A and B are shown apart, each in its own frame.
Chain A
Amino acid sequence: MKGTYLGEFEEVVLLAVAIRDGDAYGAAVVNEIEQQMGRSVNLGAVHSALHRLQEKGLVKSEMGGISPERGGRRKRLYSVTAYGRRVLEEVRQLRNQMWDAIPRTAWS
């Protein structure tokens, strides 16, 4: 297993997989990110991130069924593993903890 450090883009992709629970495949993740963040991403970048996440054990994948809109081609469906969920929560917690530590005066 590679290091568990989660990059910014990896985090975004992992979140997108979590959002699209049960129907997270390459194109869907691209759409999700584009909609949520309003920026265009390359399919290659997404797949690369998914590949890395899988190697780190944060997501798992299985081949889905045949769908007619893809010309009979199969999808690889990703889902967040328990470890992945824990890492997400840890990240979130870390963020919150840091948010809380910001002094009020800092905003003025």
Chain B
Amino acid sequence: MRSAPTPPRFAQRLLRWFCAPHRLDELEGDLDELFQQRAQEVGLRRARWRYWRDVLSLMRPFVIKRQHTDYPRPTNTTMIRNYLTVAFRNLAKNRVYSFINIFGLASGMAVAMLIGLWVYDELSFNKQFKNHDRLAMLWQFVKFDVEKASYDVMPIPLAQELRSNYPDFEAVGLSKTRNVIVAAGERKLLKTGNYVEPDFIDMLSLNVVAGTRFGSNDVNTILLSQSLANAMFGTGNPLNKLIKLDNKQTVKVAGVYKDFPANSTFTDVTFLVPWKFFAANDENAKLDQNEWDSNSYQIFVQLRPEADFDQVSAKIKDIRMKRDNPPGYKPEFFLHPMAKWHLFGDFKDGVNTGGLITFVWLFGSIGVIVLLLACINFMNLSTARSEKRAKEVGIRKALGSLRSQLISQFFSESLLIALLSFVLAILFVQLTLPFFNQVAEKQVTILWANPWFWFAGLGFSLLTGLIAGSYPALYLSSFQPVKVLKGILRANRSATIPRRVLVGFQFTVSVTLIIGTIIVFRQIEHAKDRPVGYNRSGLIEIGMNAPELYRHYTALRKDLLNTGAIVDMAESSNSITEQSGGTTAISWKGKKTGSKPLVMSNYVTHDYGKTVGWQLKEGRDFSRAYSTDTASIVLNEAAVRLMGFKNPIGEVVRRGSPNRDYRVIGVVKDMVKENPFRPVSPSFFALDYGNVNTLTIRLAPQLSAHEALATIEQVFKSYSPDSPFDYKFVDDQYAQKFGTEERIGRLAGGFAVLAILISCLGLFGLASFIAEQRTKEIGIRKVLGASVFNVWRLLSKEFVALVLIAFCLGAPLAYYVLSGWLQNYEYRTDLSWWIFALAGAGALLITLLTVSYQAVRAALINPVKSLRSE
């Protein structure tokens, strides 16, 4: 056969596209005939050219217009409509399964969404600042002992040094955060604010909405945040109003700025005052102007665009060591980039060890796992249910359905469910957000306007729908109608294996989460039950912000005692729940040369020990009876261990500047002032009535706290009428130390409950499905004499075995993960075997309860009913 020349293919395709089907045959025939004829007469090239012209000339309405017929012409949309109808009918027919499917998937999606929003919030921390990728904070590593410790506080002259000698910095700004009483007229509030150099304002691109910012020459001015301005002046104009700080100096409101965003480091900063004001008024700051070894101030810097954090860190590292008299603690300065402040804030021995990022990972993976559990449910139930529909597949096929149509039917069904779940999940998230925000201490909102949120949500729904629908779509659609309709099809045992694996996986996760939750809570309880070394009940603290509170110690104490509202009162250099400072300038007999351990310093008044109720182990408390007690010192047990005293009483410790001898008069039990998960640091207590800033009061137990506080307030007002009576219960302050751990515990517990709930939902669905599938078998067994217990055992056996396997996998996993977590805490609970046993028993119990409901119901069915129809 000769090969005929072929007409231009694209023109052909064009014709087929626009031409009405009923005319295509005729026109193509004409075109082809002319083409063949012309190819012989005038050559192929011209023939093709003419072919093209003919095709284009045929683009006329009468060729394009489709033939009208009176018969319905089903299109794809019609069929999809039918699929949706069938899908909805199926959902309505099996209400329980539909509920479990949609509700389970929706709650899984909601959890994942909440966690996703939380992670997003954490990751976007501090990102709102325009120059966030160039901002950094100065930190230093110092070596007191063996390990390097890290601090974010700097000496004042370092700022000038960086500014003048290091061109890598675009801006350098000193800052000091303080709690200050701000007063305007009758309004007095205790607020947190920063004393900053003007560069700081530029670095953070502060949004001044009214008035002007302060410049380098302004001193007695203040910038208020919008919220503080509202709180102080309401709707009135705050500009140029006068504000009194700590009842001492007066400053003028120069401007109002928009509050710092909630998820930024500066969210608590409610006002800014020029550094110059601070340097002129603060006693310590005056002394520290040129003091290279007094580290109490923060320095923020902005690098030039081309500068690199690491390289600049290397340049500034040894600034202090190169100067005269390098200190023994060998400071190494470095830059901590803003991007890492929040999530990578932990250092250990000179290396960044992460920080909150651990939780981002932890919760991120919990979110993925919970979602996975929900997906597994969804898949298990869809596949289990779909076997019920084998007959439908057979009939559809017999009526002429193509396999591809069945595939798209099953996919459209699972996509429908997935999308319904997505909508429901958004509803759930919206409803639970306020509660979630409270637990997580966040201000998260749904990102309605963020395309990525929708993209991820819908993309995920589609993916779940496709995965869950893949088994029925691909497997069931391959059935031969003859076999299915004859009823030969029986699910063989191998078909249930993937389902069992998935259920096993769910229970492994649940067991791990149960164990994890128990241990997190036990760790918190363990630390809470730790003896703190003093008595917290009825103990309150008041910060001494107003100057009038000083120098009246004896009178104030006497007045308070006379009211009968207090047991005792004392003053100290810092709150009992904090440890503000320590010293390495301390020595004792037998101290190893070269070692420079840090000993925490506490300055107290005579009545401190009695007020807080510390427990003397040896020796005596400070007493006014001994005038020599100004040269006496009380140590804690840790300090005694550090110094290696056999008989500490009477030993001599040299400390202070200038160095003086102090005689040890007593040893107290370790008091937990810092991190309750860590050992107590070596500390000393010495008398110093000048170096105090905190009032500690124990309320009289016979009065209600309310009455006692009202009485105390009256006395306070007589001494310092202008300062707010702002007290804190030591109990509450101490409880805050567990904030992070409790938050994790609550969140992990919540997620564990949800994970278990979702697993149980799936289990419930599967159990009821299996019970239904085996109705006839159970009926026959009962006829043959099986008892309800026999049937119950028959149905529960499989699941119990699965739970046992899951426990064997989950327990070592939990052990591994949690022993790693507990390593973070030096004061930690142990992983006792009973926790694992409890978790295993709990999982088993939940399984049995879930399965039993279905099993017993199946076992109670009258066999007559289950066997009468075939």
Contacts and interface: CB of A to CB of B under 8 A. Distances in A.
B291 interface: no
B152 to A, nearest CB: 83
B868 interface: no
B58 A27 contact: no
Contacts of A30: 30, 34
Interface residues of B, number: 22
A75 B54 CA distance: 17
B31 interface: yes
Interface residues of A, number: 21
Nearest to A44: B57
A74 interface: yes
Best-surrounded residue of B29, B31, B53 (most CB of chain A within 10 A):
B29
A69 interface: yes
A86 interface: no
Best-surrounded residue of A26, A27, A42, A63 (most CB of chain B within 10 A):
A27
A51 interface: yes
B32 A70 contact: yes
B27 interface: yes
A81 interface: no
A73 B59 contact: no
Contacts of B37: 27, 31
Contact of A44 (B25, B33, B36, B59): B59
Given A27-B34, A31-B37, A73 B25 contact: yes
Interface string B49-71: 01001101111101100000000
Contacts, number: 63
Determine the main DSSP class of A at the interface with B: helix
Contact of B26 (A40, A44, A71, A75): A75
A25 B29 CA distance: 10
Contacts of B34: 27, 30-31, 43
A26 B33 CA distance: 10
B854 to A, nearest CB: 64
B30 A44 contact: no
A76 B27 CA distance: 9
B32 A42 contact: no
Contacts of A31: 34, 37
A19 interface: no
A31 B40 CA distance: 14
Nearest to B25: A73
B26 A51 contact: no
Nearest to A45: B57
Contacts of A60: none
Contacts of B63: 44, 47
B62 A26 contact: no
Given A26-B26, A26-B27, A75-B26, A47 B58 contact: yes
Contacts of A4: none
A48 B62 contact: yes
B568 to A, nearest CB: 110
B346 interface: no
Contact of A27 (B33, B57, B60, B62): B33
Contact of A43 (B25, B36, B58, B62): B58
B28 interface: yes
Contacts of B29: 26-27, 70-71, 73-75
Interface string A16-32: 00000000011100110
B28 A44 contact: no
A40 B50 CA distance: 10
11 contacts: A26-B27, A31-B34, A43-B30, A43-B54, A44-B56, A44-B58, A48-B60, A51-B62, A73-B25, A74-B29, A75-B26
What 6 A-B pairs are tightest by C-beta distance, nearest first? Answer: A44-B57, A73-B29, A26-B30, A42-B57, A43-B54, A70-B29
Interface of B: 25-34, 36-37, 50, 53-54, 56-60, 62-63
Given A30-B30, A74-B25, 19 more contacts: A25-B30, A26-B26, A26-B27, A27-B30, A31-B37, A40-B50, A42-B54, A42-B57, A43-B27, A43-B30, A43-B31, A43-B34, A43-B57, A47-B58, A47-B63, A48-B60, A73-B25, A73-B26, A74-B29
